[in-house]
Structure 1
C-alpha cells in the first residue's frame, strides 16, 4: 500500500535515505563533535564520549595483542555496565564481529552459541553467577580467552570501595592466568593498529530463538546497524538530540536496546542513564536524578511502574515520550499509564532480523493506539497470503508482514538453507518474512494481528490468540493474559487462557471464563481460564507464549 506524504506523520520524508557507515566511524564523528559530552551515567558515575572511545581503542589494541583479526568473533556476556559499550565498539574497531549473549544463559545455552558462532574471546563481569558460567564454558568449549571486568572499578570510588570491603561475597574469586585476563590487562595504554572496517563488513551476530529448534544468529552488518540507528534518530521531533537523556533499562545485549538505546544515543550524541537490570525503584530514581527525556521499554516495565506503590513520590516530568516494543501493549495499561504519569506512550515494532526497528507511532501529533505506527523512513512492507507466501494477501485482508529496507539482515549465520523460507523476492526486491500477521490502514498505520505460528486451528477456523487476550484484559481483575491452543479430540485444538490478577482483585476462573466467552465468537471461546501467580517471561520481560506452551503441553 502506498501512503501519501500528507498522511506520513514522522518528522522527515518517508523516502529519506541514510548514509551507511561503520559503527567505529560513526562513533568517531560523534566524539569529534564534543568529546566531553556525557555518554553513560551509571549508578552515580558519568562517562564521557571521549572516555568510552579511549577505552574502546585500548580494548581493540588488547584484542590485537591476542591475535584477534578482522572477522573473528568476540562475545559479550554482560549486563548493562559501561564496559559493554567499550567492548562493543572496541571489538568492531579491531575488525571483529560482536556476538551478544544473555547474562541469563545457562552453561549449556552459552556453550552451544559460543560453538555455533566460533567465538574466540568472551567478555564478562566479576559477578559470581556470570563468572562461574563463563568459566565453565571456557573449560568445556573452544573458547580461547575470558576477559573479566571489575564491577567495583566501574562505580564511583566510594561505592567501589564499599563493594570491595563490605560485600566481598558479591565479587567472584577470579583465577586470572593466560586464558583468563582482567579488563585492565586487556586495555593497554596504546592505540590499535588501523583496520579497514567498511559499512559492508559484518558487525554483529544477534541470536534469535524463534519458535522451534536451536537459536539462529542473525547477521547484521555495519551498514544495517548504522542506518537503523539513523532511522530511529530521525523520529525525534524535539530538536537537538544532544540534550536528550535516555532511560537505559532495556538490556544492551537485546537488539531493541542495541539499536534504540546504544547506537541511537551514539549517532545523535545523547546520553544514557543506565541501570544493570530493571528494578522499578532504581529506574524511577534514575529518571528523576538524570532528568531522562525518553524511555524505550517493554510493556511489563510500564506495568511495573504503574504497580509501584510509591510512584507518586517521583518526578517524571522530564520525560517527553516512552516507547513500547518487544510485545503488544495491552490497551488498559496504555491508557492508564498516560493518565497516571502524564507521559505520552507510543508503540513501535521491530525484530532481530531487522536490526531492531521497523515502525513506530509518531512521538508527537497523530498516533493510533493498538497499532505499531508507521514505517521508519526508507522502509517498505507488503502483506503475503497467510497460506501461500508466494502470493499477496487479498486486498483489505490481513497477511504475513514482509519487510524490505536497508536495516534488514544479510541472513542467518551458517544457515544458507534457511534463506528460501526467510526471504521472498517481489518486484526485484528481497523482503524479510516476519511471521507476524498484520493489517495496514489507509494512513499507513500497521496493526499486528498475531503470529502465524501462534494461530490456533479450531475445527477449520483460525483463531488469533491476541484477539482473545485483548478481550480478557478488559476485565478489571485481569493483569496479564496468554492464550494458547490445547489439543481436543473433536476440534483438534481449543483456546485456553492463562491469566494473572491485579493485587487485591477477586475473580474465579469460572467467572472469568463465562465473562470472556460471552464477548467473543463461538470458535474463539476458551475451554478454561487458568489463574496463575505469574506467567513466563523472556529475558526482556516479554510474556513468553512459547515457554507457557512447553510447560502446559
Structure 2
C-alpha cells in the first residue's frame, strides 16, 4: 500500500531528489572550503566596502586566536549582540573555529532580557559595537551578570573611507564612548595577531555550534541547541532549492537580522555554502534596501512579510529596477495572499513562502523557486526532511485522514534539544525508537496529495510580530507591576504591516481611574521594540474559564465577534 509520503514524493517540485543525503560537515569546514574555492571573490558588500572570502577567513582566524589568547576555548559560550555588520561574520566563524558555541542575542533586547539569557546560557564574553542603541545595554549586563568580557567594534571602521568620515562627522551622536575598563576590549585589539593558532577537531553531529533562543511551542524563551551538522545540513538543503545553483550569479540582500535563525541559515550559512555574495545592510530601511537592490543587482531577497509591505509603501519602489531578482523568500510569519499578489505585480519578482523554526535550524519547507507552487501554503518539505501530522490532543496518535493535525518534523536540521531543559525536550520530541525523533511544531495544518503543507491554526499563544515571537505572559507580568492593574491579558491582533500586534486588555483595581493611553505610555518603554502593544484596553471584566482562570482563548473569540459585528 502506498503511503501519503510516497504518493506526494512522485509530485516533488524542488530540484534534485527528496531523499538526498547530507553527510556530516562542520560549519568551519563549510566556510573554509568556500574560502579556498572563492579566494578573492567578495563575500560581503557592506555599504559599498567589499570583504573577500580570504579576507573574512583571515578575520575569523584572528578572532579565534584572540579569544584563545584571552583564555576562551572549546565548549565556552560566546555571545553576539550585534546588528548586521562585518564584525558579526568574522566573530561568528571565529567563535566556531575556536570550538566554542555562538549565542545569538537580539539587539532589540532590554537589559533584563539580555541579562536573563546571558545567565541562562552561561555566556562568558559578548561581542557588540559602540552604538548608543547597544553598548549601554551591554555595559549594564556586564555589571549585572556573570559575563566577564565585552569585545566592542566600531561601525565606522567597517565602512568605506568616505562613508567612515561622514559617519564620524555627522552621526557621532549615535556612538557611545567605550569606557576605560580592563573587562572591555576593542575588536581591533582582539584581532591584533597573525591568526595562526591551533584549531580543534570538531564532530559535526555532536559539537554545539549555536544556541538560538526561541519560545519553542509554549512558555518563556528556551535555547535551541543547534549542532554544526544541523546548521550545515540546513544551509545545503536551502542551497539545493535553487534550480540555477552554480549556473547564475548568487547575490543575496542581507537585510534580515543575522541574529535571527532565518537569516543565519538563508542569508549567512547558505550563501557561504554556495560561494555567493551578501549585500549587508545594518538594519532594515525600505529606502536603503531599494537603493541596494538597484546598486548591486541582487538576485535573492529573503524577508518577512512586514519588509515586503514596507517596500511596497515606499515611494522609491516605482522607480527601482527589480529585473535582477530571481526570487524573494518570505518566512517568519504568515504571508497574506493579498500582499504576495501586490508585491509580485508591483515588482515583477517572484515571492514564495516557506516555513521553519529555530528548532529546525531555520527551514522545514518551501514553495519551489521556479516550478509551480501553491499560494497560501508553506510549500513542500525540503530535501531530507519528513513532515507528518499527528492528533492535536494526543501526539502519539495518527491524525484521521483529511483532518488537520499538529505538524511534526524530522530531518538532519532538527535541533539536539533545549539548553538545560530536559523537561522541555520531553514535551517537544516524539521518540519512535531507534534514535528517530520527531519535533512537535505546535502548528496545526493539512498536507495535500502533492505534499504541500497549509497551516490552519496554532497551538501556542505566541504572537508573531514581523517575524519575531512575542510571549503574552511576559507582557502581562509587566502590566501587573502597575498598581492600578487588577487583571491583564495580551493577545495578537491582525495588523496589515506587522502581521500581528500585541494588544493588552486589563481590568482595574477598585478606585483607580487611569486611562488606557496612560497605561500604554507607562508600559511600552519597558518592552523590547518588537513587543510593544498598539493599545491598552480597559474593561469591566475579562473572560474566565469555569475554574476562574483568565481565558485568552475566549478573549480572542470575543474580539473576533466584535470585529465581525462592527462594534
2:448 is the alignment partner of 1:441: yes
Cα displacement (A) at 1:530: 11
The answer to whether the aligner puts 1:362 opposite 2:368 as a matched pair is yes
Matched, 1:431 2:438: yes
1:152 correspondence with 2:156: yes
Displacement after TM superposition at 1:417 (Å): 1.7
Match of 1:34 in 2: 38
Residue correspondence of structure 1 range 217-236 to structure 2 within 5 A = 217-236=223-242
**With structure 1 as the length reference, what TM-score do the two structures score?**
0.84
Which of residues 186, 189, 196 is equivalent to 1:185? Answer: 189
The one of 98, 109, 115 aligned to 1:105: 109
Match status 1:404 vs 2:410: yes
**Alpha-carbon distance in 2 for matches of 1:211, 1:413:** 15
Corresponding position: 1:338 with 2:373: no
Helix, strand or coil: the match of 1:99?
strand
Q: Deviations over 1:427-474 (max 9, x none)?
A: 64210000000100000000011211349xxxxxxxxx99x96xx98x
Match of 1:146, SS state, is strand
What is the CA distance between 1:188 and its match in structure 2? 2.1
Partner of 1:56: 60
Q: 1:305: how far off? A: 1.0
* Alpha-carbon distance in 2 for matches of 1:97, 1:318: 37
User: What is the deviation of 1:165?
Assistant: 3.2
Match in the other structure for 1:504: none
Cα distance per residue 1:132-168 (max 9 Å; x no partner)? 0101111111111100001110000111122223432
| Contact 2:156–2:164 (CA under 8 A) maintained in structure 1 | yes
SS in 2 for 1:322: strand
Return the alpha-carbon distance in structure 2 between the equivalents of residues 489 and 152 of structure 1: 54
Residue number among 350, 354, 370 corresponding to 1:348 in the alignment: 354
Is the CA contact (8 Å cut-off) linking 1:373 and 1:446 kept in structure 2?
yes
- Are the counterparts in 1 of residues 217 and 441 from structure 2 also a CA contact under 8 Å? no
Structure 1: any 5+ residue segments left out of the alignment? 456-464, 498-522, 532-553
Do the aligned partners of residues 160 and 35 (structure 1) sit closer, same or farther apart at CA in structure 2, a change above 3 Å counting? same
| Mapped pair 1:251 → 2:257 | yes
Distance 1:53 1:177, change over 3 A: same
Alignment of 1:371-382 (within 5 A): 371-382=377-388
Confirm whether residue 162 of structure 1 aligns to residue 166 of structure 2.
yes
Q: Match of 1:266, SS?
A: helix
User: Relative to 1, partners in 2 of residues 1:479 and 1:186: Cα closer, same or farther, differing over 3 Å?
Assistant: closer
The separation in 2 between residues aligned to 1:148 and 1:13, in whole angstroms, is 45
Q: 2:199: which partner in 1? A: 194
Counterpart secondary structure, 2:438:
strand
Give the superposed CA RMSD.
2.6
> Using the alignment, how far apart are the partners of 1:524 and 1:418 within structure 2?
32
Q: Offset of 1:212 from its aligned partner? A: 5.0
Corresponding position: 1:528 with 2:563: yes
Cα separation, partners in 2 of 1:135 and 1:13, compared to 1, 3 Å = same
What is the alpha-carbon distance in structure 2 between the residues aligned to residue 325 and residue 311 of structure 1?
Answer: 21
Moved more, 258-267 or 303-312: 303-312
Work out the CA distance in 1 between the residues paired with 2:136 and 2:242.
42
1:127 and 2:137 correspond:
no
2:118 is the alignment partner of 1:114: yes
Equivalent position to 1:266, from 260, 264, 272: 272
After superposition, the C-alpha distances for 1:87-117 in whole angstroms (9 at most, x for unaligned) are: 0000010111000000011111111111111
Aligned twin of 2:326? 320
Per the alignment, in what secondary structure is the counterpart of residue 30 of structure 1?
Answer: helix
Bigger drift between 191-200 and 65-74 goes to 191-200
For residue 458 of structure 1, what is the aligned residue in structure 2?
none
For 1:141 and 1:524, locate their aligned partners in 2 and report how far apart those are by CA, in whole Å. Answer: 41
1:101 & 1:525 partners in 2: Cα distance?
Answer: 35
**Please, what TM-score do these two structures have when normalized by structure 2?**
0.82
Residues 485 and 241 of structure 1: is their aligned pair in 2 closer, same or farther, counting only changes over 3 Å? farther
Q: Structure 1: how far apart are the matches of 2:449 and 2:286?
A: 39
Give per-residue Cα distances to partners, 1:241-264, cap 9 Å, x unaligned: 672100111000000000000000
Q: Quote the Cα distance in structure 2 between the aligned partners of 1:174 and 1:261.
A: 30
Distance 1:18 1:304, change over 3 A: same
Aligned pair in 2 of structure 1 residues 480, 298: CA closer, same or farther (>3 Å)?
Answer: closer
Q: Which moved more, 1:243-252 or 1:186-195?
A: 186-195
Gaps of 5+ in 2: 463-490, 506-541
- How far the C-alpha of 1:416 sits from its partner, in A, is 1.1
The answer to whether the Cα contact below 8 Å between 1:93 and 1:197 also exists between their aligned partners in 2 is no
- The answer as to whether partners of 1:246 and 1:292 remain within 8 angstroms in 2 is yes
Count of aligned pairs = 491
